[in-house]
């Protein structure tokens, strides 16, 4: 199957959510061997990379691109989901709140303690900055990923198990069918029909 004008071919499906791109089949085989859980796509013509790796290997992001350059909705194959949008908004709100608190703390320090020696002011700023960082870290931990995102690997494992069960069942049925055909052949041969 496939198109004669295809530019890419999938060499290996993704089990860890990322895909890697190889320039030729030899590199593709090496990359697949070195990264058994990553999807591997081989470029067979043209330039660039496929815009939707998930459609080819099942891996939603390119593993060889730093995470900050592969952003949902940035035109590089990662669609924006409600969970991703909610996470972005939460992160932006945390960042704005942290900046607002830091500005407020610095302003209060300037108003209340303008006559502190430089060493003490610097130490106070460090202590307050540490407190702000701790609060931001706590808030970030509290803003956990949505449950649907956390359950996705479990759903994937269950789907793999289901496929394995189906394959095993199919193999057993085929073996039973072969045994029945063999037995029927023996009966015909022994019975003299």
Angle between helices 118-142 and 82-112 (to 10 degrees): 160
Rounded CA-CA distance 85/91 in Å is 10
Rounded CA-CA distance 139/133 in Å is 10
pTM of the model: 0.34
Rounded CA-CA distance 51/8 in Å is 11
- Residue 116: its pLDDT value, please? 53
- Residue 51: its pLDDT value, please? 75
Per-domain residue ranges of the chain: 8-69, 82-142, 152-193
Rounded CA-CA distance 143/133 in Å is 15
- Whether 50 contacts 77, CB under 8 Å: yes
- Residue 69: its pLDDT value, please? 46
- Residue 76: its pLDDT value, please? 47
Residue 26, token pair as written in the block = 């030899």
Query: Edge-to-edge strands of the sheet including 18-22?
Result: 8-12, 39-43, 18-22, 61-62
DSSP state, residue 17:
S
- Residue 175: its pLDDT value, please? 92
**Average pLDDT along the chain, 193 residues, taken 10 residues at a time:** 73 84 89 89 82 76 58 51 73 82 76 60 74 74 61 80 87 91 83 56
């Amino acid at each position: 199957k496939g198109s004669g004008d295809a530019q890419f071919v999938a060499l290996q499906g993704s089990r860890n959510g990322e895909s890697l791109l190889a320039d030729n089949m030899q590199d593709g085989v090496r990359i697949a061997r070195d990264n058994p859980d990553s999807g591997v796509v081989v470029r067979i013509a043209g330039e660039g990379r496929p815009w939707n790796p998930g459609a080819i290997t099942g891996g939603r992001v390119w593993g060889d691109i730093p995470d900050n350059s592969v952003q949902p909705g940035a035109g590089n194959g990662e669609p924006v989901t409600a969970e991703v949008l909610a996470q972005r908004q939460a992160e932006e709100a945390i960042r704005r709140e942290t900046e607002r608190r830091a500005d407020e703390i610095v302003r209060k320090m300037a108003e209340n303690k303008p006559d502190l020696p430089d060493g003490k002011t610097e130490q106070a700023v460090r202590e307050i900055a540490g407190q702000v960082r701790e609060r931001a870290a706590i808030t970030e931990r509290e803003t956990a990923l949505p449950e649907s995102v956390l359950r996705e690997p479990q759903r994937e494992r269950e789907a793999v198990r289901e496929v394995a069960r189906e394959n095993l069942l199919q193999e057993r049925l085929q073996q039973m069918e072969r045994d029945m055909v063999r037995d029927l052949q023996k009966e015909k041969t022994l019975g003299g029909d």
